[in-house]
Amino acid sequence: MNLRNRFAEAVRKVLEKYGEEVAGYATLVRPASEERFGDYQVNCAMPLAKLLRKNPRAIAQEIVEQADFAPLAEDVSVAGPGFINLRLSDAWLSDYLRTLLADDRLGVEPTTQPATYVIDFSSPNVAKPMHVGHLRSTIIGDALARMLRFFGHKVIRDNHIGDWGTQFGMIIYGYKHFLDQQAWQRDPVAELARLYQLVNRMAAPAEWEEELSKAERLRHGDNPEQKRTARQIIVELAQRAGLVTAGEQVSDEQLDELLRELWRRVEEAKPVAEAARQETARLHQGDPENRKLWETFMPHCLRELEKIYRRLDVHFDYTLGESFYQPMLQEVVEELLAKGIATVSEGAVCVFFAEGEPPCIIRKSDGAYTYATTDLATIKYRVEQFAPDYILYVVDYRQSLHFKQVFEVARRWGYDRVCFEHIAFGTVLGKDRRPFRTREGGTVGLEALLDEAVRRARAIVDESSPHLSEEERRQIAEAVGIGALKYADLSQNRTSDYVFSWEKMLAMQGNTGAYLQYAYARIRSIFRKGEVDPERLRSSPPRILLSTSPERRLALLLVRLPEVLQQAVDDYMPHYLTNYLYELAETFSTFYNTCDVLRAESDELRVSRLALCYLTAQTLKLGLGLLGIRTPERM
């Protein structure tokens, strides 16, 4: 049962007579901010005072007198200028917890309004190393999918991979000119990665022209500030070119030399960049040779991705990448033109928005379709195939403008009954607070990152549990390492950037995955030590005693799972759940340190406390499971 909703419903019934607007305020029910205010508080009287032109205390009084909070809360009072404090009835709480013992859903009721969600997540660009941004999307998207499904929604997981981009031009160019036959036979994925990196490195300086010109300009002025900026640009590019190492001192004479060398590189890179661009263009035009190469590369790229997903225990219903939508793009543009939604402007096809806002280009003047065109075709396809109520895009916040535009075009196009949501997230930063890179320029892939997490977890497990078998320790380390990585990500408010830190991530104390997994394993060990079969608690649930405040506090948290989960899915915020689980583990810890469990004074108290232990373990397991994190029985 969702207690917050239950209370809000009771308040709503009282307010309904004042009309829908007023009744809407009934949702202002919160867990009490402080214990002395009771367990829940209803905060709508003050904001309603203005609307109803009444004294807030009088409104609060009216709610207290008329709302039916029984049998959940008996003690209901008005406090201060118009707060309403609710205290849960101990008898009710104890009975309710008892029913949870045999309830696999721990009180979380399936939704009464099941909807269909398409979740577009992970969506890496294949054939180049997946980066941590895609890891973030993968982890957050998977958690949302699990939570929504748990509520009984229909969830379609679609991996919208970038399998049609310019990286293929580079690989095709590399394949045609620099292929190492033997390496390709031995390990095609590694060879493709090498070719991509090689050509990318060769072609990259072609993009520096603008920056170099700017540096050149600023350097010859007499503004010292601008001179410094010029120096920064040059040093930064020289670093990228491998001409100087980070932190190296660069003299003014050297700066001239570097500049000359950088210009040389730009000139050298231009023909490579152009050739790669042409290979991409040929692929897109249907050139048979390039098409065949693309078809040769794709299965290897997909297999590589699949390895990572399997380790993360993330699965998709569909992997329909950009290439899949190519045959539909022309029609999309024609339809939008015919309906007058798009117009031709300077040779390009655009959709315009309000004055001053950039237009959405759906066909460039050279005839090329864009990322937006593909996303529009994807929407049409998804609506026709899956009839979704919601389409969620779990993508980096830097693509906000793109999605804002695409959603708006889609609505004008007639897809206005689907709810589009960009589930944006911040950047993963390194210790230096700059975008996190997996070692120098991303040459170490995501797999190495997972290995590192597991390796570090293994060191912890070896130390804490030397008595376990090799195989057991291996499995635990995998669960703890991958769990740590996921939890670190999910426990952040997704909209903010977060700093990647191995030490924090794998700490055994604090708000970490390892701490929660450990809390779970510790409870399981209580049952092993006491030789208690938790099944007994399920088949004949004992009476639950809440005589001390640590017990009652734990009980109060245990009944909050449904409301926390509901909010996490309503706002698409997995960190509501991690915060809750962390608070639960901490509260349990206080309970366990103050209340004897196995050596409780009476048998009745012993089983009651064991029941609280059991419910805590089950809540941790269910909660972490919904985040895609496993809970080993021992640690």
- By CB under 6 A, name the binding residues for ligand ARG: 120, 123-125, 160, 162, 375, 378, 393, 395
**Comparison of 15 and 391: residue with beta carbon closer to ligand ARG:** 391
**Comparison of 131 and 219: residue with beta carbon closer to ligand ARG:** 131
**Comparison of 94 and 378: residue with beta carbon closer to ligand ARG:** 378
Q: How far is the CB of 294 from ligand ARG (least distance, A)?
A: 17
Residue with tokens 């699990």: 146
AA identity, residue 217: R
Q: How far is the CB of 435 from ligand ARG (least distance, A)?
A: 14
Q: How far is the CB of 160 from ligand ARG (least distance, A)?
A: 4
**Comparison of 378 and 616: residue with beta carbon closer to ligand ARG:** 378
Q: Can you tell me whether residue 561 is helix, strand or coil?
A: helix
**Comparison of 165 and 174: residue with beta carbon closer to ligand ARG:** 165
**Comparison of 89 and 427: residue with beta carbon closer to ligand ARG:** 427
**Comparison of 279 and 375: residue with beta carbon closer to ligand ARG:** 375
Q: Please check whether residue 87 is in contact with residue 38, taking contact to mean a CB–CB distance below 8 angstroms.
A: yes
Q: Helix 400-413 crosses helix 371-386 at what angle (to 10 degrees)? A: 50
Measured distance CA(617)–CA(526) in Å, rounded: 11
**Comparison of 160 and 606: residue with beta carbon closer to ligand ARG:** 160
Q: How far is the CB of 209 from ligand ARG (least distance, A)?
A: 24
Measured distance CA(216)–CA(224) in Å, rounded: 14
Measured distance CA(601)–CA(599) in Å, rounded: 6
Q: How far is the CB of 165 from ligand ARG (least distance, A)?
A: 8
Partner residues linked to 448 by β-bridges: none
Q: How far is the CB of 315 from ligand ARG (least distance, A)?
A: 18
**Comparison of 403 and 518: residue with beta carbon closer to ligand ARG:** 403
Strands 154-158 and 343-345: unpaired
The residue among 569, 470, 453, 557 whose CA lies nearest residue 512 is 453
Residue with tokens 């994925």: 189
**Comparison of 405 and 618: residue with beta carbon closer to ligand ARG:** 405
Q: What is the DSSP string of 505-556?
A: HT-SSSSSHHHHHHHHHHHHHHHHHTT--HHHHHHSPPP----SHHHHHHHH
- Please give the structure tokens belonging to residue 545: 């005693």
Query: Could you tell me which residues come within 8 angstroms of residue 521 by beta carbon, excluding any fewer than 6 positions away?
Result: 631, 632, 633, 634, 635
Q: How far is the CB of 372 from ligand ARG (least distance, A)?
A: 9
Q: Helix 446-464 crosses helix 470-490 at what angle (to 10 degrees)? A: 120
Q: How far is the CB of 70 from ligand ARG (least distance, A)?
A: 49
Q: What is the DSSP string of 146-183?
A: HHHHHTT-EEEEE---B-SSTHHHHHHHHHHHH--HHH
**Comparison of 141 and 632: residue with beta carbon closer to ligand ARG:** 141
List strand residue ranges (DSSP E) for 64-210, in order: 73-79, 83-88, 116-120, 154-158
- Please give the structure tokens belonging to residue 523: 């409870």
Q: How far is the CB of 398 from ligand ARG (least distance, A)?
A: 9
The residue among 392, 359, 418 whose CA lies nearest residue 142 is 392
Find the length of the chain.
635
State the sign of the Cα–Cα–Cα–Cα dihedral 184, 188, 190, 193. Answer: positive
Q: How far is the CB of 213 from ligand ARG (least distance, A)?
A: 28
Q: How far is the CB of 399 from ligand ARG (least distance, A)?
A: 7
